[in-house]
Structure 1
């Protein structure tokens, strides 16, 4: 019976698509809905199973599937359309292949309560998957291919149901996990870059935001039965549960991590609002003479402020214009993204007091050394005009307080929320995976891996904290963890381009080399004092944690409603991967949507 219902749920996709096309105002809403549901299913449902079966190494194949097509299209522009279409087909066929696992999950093994919840989860997520397949294929390839894929998914669902346990054993193999990892990356690539044209007028933020929120609600409804089924029958030994345990276990771990950090994040946002109220922009854009060394003053100014790299690169020339020395400005530029109050307070419950203290001291030492050493070779050249203004009109206290609240909550939440969510997802997914023992005894390999990850990505200190916490628990050395926390938020392509534009290639190269080498040295010498934090136990939660998580979810939902899910996620990816992805039929609609959050909101 559940098999028939799951296939009917899949067949609901075409009529749903036809209904949406008759209501143009709903196209943007449906786009956001599909974006959230499919992306969430991949991250929370498919990816944990793939990593559990194949180990952390499959993340390289996920990255290849996600970023490879864009890099290929940029290198070989004449073949861009063919590459894009191939990626689209790989992603859609990957969803069809995943239907095998759905069919196997529908097999009744005599445990009515657990099986019923799992089957309900399968049926619920088939509706948006069917809509997504039709949404992706129908406009570009026509009805025939779209129906063939829908029929293929129905057949593979029945095949999975008929094969049962034997198929589950095969799907749990390393080789299949590696293939699925590439497919997961391709699916994410397709979802992020929207290979279809939204035919309505310019979508309003309200419609895209509502679609995103509806997608979140649908995703929770889809995942909740699996959570409950896992909780009722945790770590069951039958082979039927091999493939299904990894995802709900990761989801429960995500919840525990979120409960642990929620009160501290709310406190961090409140402190950020108070800082903006007590010390408005005109105050900290006007460096004052003092007895402390210039680099120390710049570091002390930058560390507590809720400022990220894009903000810091706009504040930096203003500081120089106001008379700050290069050492002061460079120390501020390094210190501001590496460790703010939000990252400090999130570190306390996850990394412990000792590790958090070492992290703070290491960040301070790094900014002092970089500012002092590199600052000696930087001349105070004329800087280009920026959007920021030092002069601020005098405001009444109530108006200033409201503005501070807006800056401390709305601005900071828009920037940190995607990173916090992704950080928690990655942390929850990586914890039980095999393969970390390959790096456990090779500190140099861990350092090299951290450096390779840090440079191309624009990482957030707050979102990176739970990831490093879990990496430490599964075998990453404390020194490499500290190095990741120092380099991740600080060294990235945005900063390198800014330094080249402002001071030339020589200073940019010297700055990057100094940051990498000094971070590695500080992390190496800090080893004796780095205490490995205990992994979060499954302890009783408090009412205050649940209340804080509820408030945090509401704030993040408002941010999603205000910006829409695509602009929300644009915080996570380098702008090149969002703005240069142009295709013959949709690039105009897509680029404006991404641009608003990636360049000028920080």
Structure 2
């Protein structure tokens, strides 16, 4: 019972630290959704040039989508003419970082990791995109029709766009600024939060378990080697599903147990961008060769940037273990408590709304059913 209470107390402490910055991150995400035109990404992703790859990486970096949540978006981009390199770069940069995860990284780790994380994500996405552009056309299958692509994306269980998402996607009616802001914030604290909210809670409990049950300096004793610890993070991170926000408290807890900053960066890059479901759907939709380039670039680049991160911390004389959580401790307790309560309510609301939306979808006739002979009228 004492261990259980200690585990719950550690989990609550992690959640309190992250809540104010998560709310801020989702607020910024809502502004991006409201202010960035929906067709902007598609217009700039065409072709196989270096510029389109850089655009895919840079424009995808601030968007807070998980690795399977980004699949339907990437399929839509590819179907509308985006090149394989730009699509690959977008698929890597988007889940590896985002405004919400950067806010939590600053809160729970330190400012230097807050810079290294997006820079490494963008460079990894660029390397993967350029490698994808070098593939011959015969290794890049044509994208599936939109109905099949949507089914493949939603088969992962991570998308919660709702029944009427496709119907509104092509709407060209202009909206006022207030309506766009309401829509953007509603999307951030609704659909987006329902995508990552449950996994965020799972990540918080995982971080609490690490804090409560893993012995101090475990990684210094058991995985003291630099590359040994980074390889261990690869083995854990590649098949595991964890979004960018929920991976941050886990990485912070691992750092407190002696994990090196480079190994933590490996987990922060690999965990959000890969998981068994994403790899399976990618192989079926984009082909096994392009999927191999995707996974291979993430693995190699994460090891390289993890090694460089350790060198940077050493050269600057910084001890990441000494500054963990310093930023958050400056926040008043009432703000942490109020943010935690508000975030819990928003997560519960988003998950309930998502469940009702899926139930309504299950009873709504599909267009194919309506068009079939003898179908509904």
TM range, smaller chain: 0.7 to 0.9
- CA shift for structure 1 position 338: 0.7
Structure 1, gaps ≥5 residues long: 1-243, 569-591, 597-602
Change in Cα spacing, 1:473 to 1:515, as seen in structure 2 (3 Å) is: same
- TM-score after normalising by structure 2: 0.78
- Describe the superposition over 1:529-551 as per-residue Cα deviations: whole angstroms up to 9, x where unpaired: 24514344796843222222221
Question: How far apart, CA to CA, are the structure 1 residues paired with 2:302 and 2:133?
Answer: 17
Deviation digits for residues 290-334 of structure 1, max 9, x if unmatched? 997222111011111122223322222332333322221111111
**Are 1:273 and 2:30 an aligned pair?**
yes
User: Is 1:559 the counterpart of 2:356 in the alignment?
Assistant: no
**CA distance in 1: counterparts of 2:297 and 2:50, whole angstroms:** 23
Per-residue deviation, 1:472: 0.6
Q: Does 1:401 align with 2:192?
A: no
Choose which of 79, 83, 94 in structure 2 pairs with 1:336: 94
SS at 1:488's partner residue?
helix
Counterpart in the other structure of 1:463: 246
Match of 2:145 in 1: 385
Q: State the distance in 2 between where 1:437 and 1:381 align.
A: 46
* Secondary structure of 1:431 counterpart: helix
Taking the aligned partners of 2:296 and 2:336, their CA distance within structure 1 comes to 42
SS in structure 2 opposite 1:457? coil
Query: What is the distance in 2 between the residues matched to 1:249 and 1:539?
Result: 20
Structure 1 CA distance for aligned equivalents of residues 82 and 324 of structure 2? 44
Looking at structure 2, the residues matched to 481 and 406 of structure 1 have their Cα atoms a distance apart, in angstroms, of: 33
Q: Aligned-pair RMSD on alpha carbons?
A: 2.8
Give the count of matched residue pairs: 327
Secondary structure of 2:272's aligned partner = coil
Alpha-carbon distance, 1:437 to partner: 4.3
Q: What is the DSSP-based 3-state SS (H/G/I as helix, E as strand, rest coil) of the residue aligned with 2:43?
A: coil
Counterpart check, 1:321 vs 2:114:
no
1:252 aligns with 2:9: yes
Note if 1:547 corresponds to 2:307: no
- The change in CA–CA distance for 1:378 and 1:487 in structure 2 (over 3 A counts) is farther
Is the CA contact (8 Å cut-off) linking 2:110 and 2:325 kept in structure 1? no
Per the alignment, in what secondary structure is the counterpart of residue 310 of structure 1?
coil
2:67 matched to 1:284? no
- What are the Cα deviations for residues 172-203 of structure 1, in whole angstroms up to 9, with x where unaligned? xxxxxxxxxxxxxxxxxxxxxxxxxxxxxxxx
**Structure 2: how far apart are the matches of 1:348 and 1:279?**
25
Higher Rg: 1
Q: How many angstroms apart in 2 are the aligned matches of 1:525 and 1:425?
A: 30
Alpha-carbon deviation of 1:415?
1.5
Q: What does residue 420 of structure 1 align with? A: 200
CA contact (8 A) 1:326 1:378 kept: no
Q: Residue 309 of structure 1: SS of its match in structure 2?
A: coil
- Residues 364 and 378 of structure 1, relative CA distance in 2, 3 Å threshold: farther
| Aligned position for 1:89 | none
Mapped to 2, the partners of 1:306 and 1:506 lie a distance apart of: 27
| Residue from 266, 270, 276 that aligns with 1:487 | 270
